[in-house]
């Protein structure tokens, strides 16, 4: 069987990818679709097993990598990709026909560049839309997707990419499959769960390292650097982390609580300041999201009390998670606790969300009042009960939580108490 990652516990086999495609095809049949063309980085990776660096990193390249798949028949999906990633795509994709087109990057070997290829290889300044459209049209013909109803990521594809779809198959009725794909992707296979575990382990290593280094005078920028150091150091300790792709952190401290703050009071941390992490890493395409709060010295009475109540609300939310419960039930458990214990003005739009392949790690379904999605075994949620007020200091308590056969399991391991910062 073909593996997309050769690492401890995070290996995906051809059988895994076949299961994924079977789930997607089942949904396509339910909606009466002849096929599906994936455009988003997440759905391209989900169907093919190949994580395109170009597509995942640079928004302007959306519409340059795609996967076409028929609902019925024996033909494998077709992965269309630039030739700069062609070799990598053939090595990493699982049971796909890979079709590439020329890009600006010279990918041939030394012996090849010594010979004049003549006019058959004229590289564009970046890529030619007509080359992509040609490959797409040929792939749709091969798959029999030249008429009828075909699904795509209609909500998220660029306008020019949709025009290309229409021109490539003018007799097709294009149908949005965005919500259905999020629903299918919300229930994880074991290898997906393990990649999220690996990503969480690295984020926890980054938080732990940063909290130890962050003493009096440490700035938000310092904390960001400490976090990156901790993740990078931990990533070298085991093969399960070999596909670490990126890391992110939104730190906050003391009165510097705004989300995304990178600068603030030049004097840095002071005794009594809270230190908040909201962070994650990406391993094998899967992006974690969680956080913790530390304190330098002794917290104020108000901060300690609020933290304890947020922590208890967090416990109530996780206790409500089980197969068959609604996402809104989890929201209500945390919301009711906070409003019933002295914080009637505390308002959240959600207390968590699914996680997976999206670069914006908040995926549907959401643990929100209006979300009636039934929880299923294999779902993974980032459950969070934060406070961002600069007058008291920022608080974050966020865990990845796996819905199991009879309840829920914490994927993350750091203590959920208010922990000490500084060496």
Q: What angle do CA 184, 185, 191 make, to 5 degrees?
A: 125
Among 88, 69, 72, residue whose Cα is nearest residue 17: 69
Euclidean distance between the first and the last CA atom of the chain, given in angstroms as a whole number: 48
Among 55, 124, 62, residue whose Cα is nearest residue 93: 55
What domains can be seen in the chain, in order of their start residue? 14-185 (3.40.350.10), 190-420 (3.90.230.10)
What does the pLDDT read at residue 7?
Answer: 45
**Which tokens hold the place of 95?**
């049971």
What does the pLDDT read at residue 5?
Answer: 39
CA–CA gap between residue 65 and residue 80 (Å, rounded)? 6
What does the pLDDT read at residue 192?
Answer: 97
CA–CA gap between residue 164 and residue 400 (Å, rounded)? 39
User: Could you tell me the mean pLDDT of each successive run of 10 residues in the chain, 423 residues long?
Assistant: 47 92 97 98 97 94 97 95 96 96 91 80 90 97 97 95 94 97 98 97 98 94 96 95 95 75 66 96 96 96 97 98 98 98 96 96 97 98 94 94 97 96 88
Look at strands 398-403 and 274-283 and give their pairing. Answer: unpaired
What does the pLDDT read at residue 1?
Answer: 30
- Residue written as tokens 């920022």? 394
What does the pLDDT read at residue 34?
Answer: 98
- Residue written as tokens 């630039």? 82
Answering whether pTM is above 0.75, one says: yes
3 HSE (CA, 13 A, CB side): 8
CA–CA gap between residue 379 and residue 403 (Å, rounded)? 5
What does the pLDDT read at residue 12?
Answer: 87
What does the pLDDT read at residue 4?
Answer: 40
């Amino acid at each position: 069987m073909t593996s997309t990652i050769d690492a401890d516990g995070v290996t995906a086999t051809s059988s895994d990818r076949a299961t994924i495609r079977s789930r997607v095809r089942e949904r396509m049949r339910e909606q009466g679709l002849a096929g599906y063309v994936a455009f988003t980085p997440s759905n391209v990776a989900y169907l093919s097993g190949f994580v395109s660096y170009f597509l995942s990193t640079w928004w302007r390249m959306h519409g340059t990598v795609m996967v076409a798949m028929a609902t019925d028949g024996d033909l494998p999906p077709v992965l269309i990709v630039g030739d700069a990633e062609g070799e990598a795509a053939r090595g990493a994709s699982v049971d796909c026909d890979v079709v590439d087109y020329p890009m600006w990057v010279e990918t041939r070997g030394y012996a090849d560049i010594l010979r004049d290829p003549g006019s058959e290889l004229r590289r564009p300044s970046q890529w030619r839309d007509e080359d992509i459209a040609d490959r797409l049209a040929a792939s749709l013909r091969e798959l029999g997707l030249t008429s009828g109803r075909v699904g795509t990521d209609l909500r998220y594809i660029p306008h020019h990419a949709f025009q290309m779809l229409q021109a490539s198959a003018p007799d097709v009725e294009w149908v949005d499959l965005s919500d259905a794909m999020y629903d299918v992707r919300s229930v994880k296979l074991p290898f997906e769960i393990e990649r999220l575990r690996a990503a969480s382990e690295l984020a926890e290593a980054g938080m732990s390292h940063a909290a130890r280094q962050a003493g009096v005078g440490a700035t938000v920028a310092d904390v960001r650097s400490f976090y990156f150091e901790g993740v990078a150091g931990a990533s070298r300790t085991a093969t399960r982390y070999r596909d670490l792709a990126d890391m992110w952190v939104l730190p906050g401290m003391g009165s510097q609580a705004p989300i995304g703050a990178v600068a603030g009071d030049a004097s840095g941390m002071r005794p009594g300041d809270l230190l908040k992490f909201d962070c994650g890493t990406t391993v094998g395409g899967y992006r974690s999201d969680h956080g913790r709060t530390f304190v330098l010295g002794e917290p104020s009475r108000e901060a300690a009390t609020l933290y304890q109540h947020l922590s208890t609300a967090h416990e109530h939310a996780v206790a409500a998670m089980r197969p068959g419960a609604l996402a809104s039930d989890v929201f209500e458990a945390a919301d009711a606790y906070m409003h019933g214990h002295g914080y009637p003005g505390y308002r959240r739009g959600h207390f968590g969300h699914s996680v997976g392949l999206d670069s914006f790690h908040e995926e549907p379904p959401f643990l929100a009042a209006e979300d009636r999605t039934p929880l299923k075994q294999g779902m993974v949620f980032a459950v969070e009960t934060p406070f961002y007020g600069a007058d008291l200091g920022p608080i974050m308590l966020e865990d990845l939580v796996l819905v199991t056969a009879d309840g829920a399991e914490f994927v993350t391991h750091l203590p959920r108490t208010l922990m000490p910062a500084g060496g």
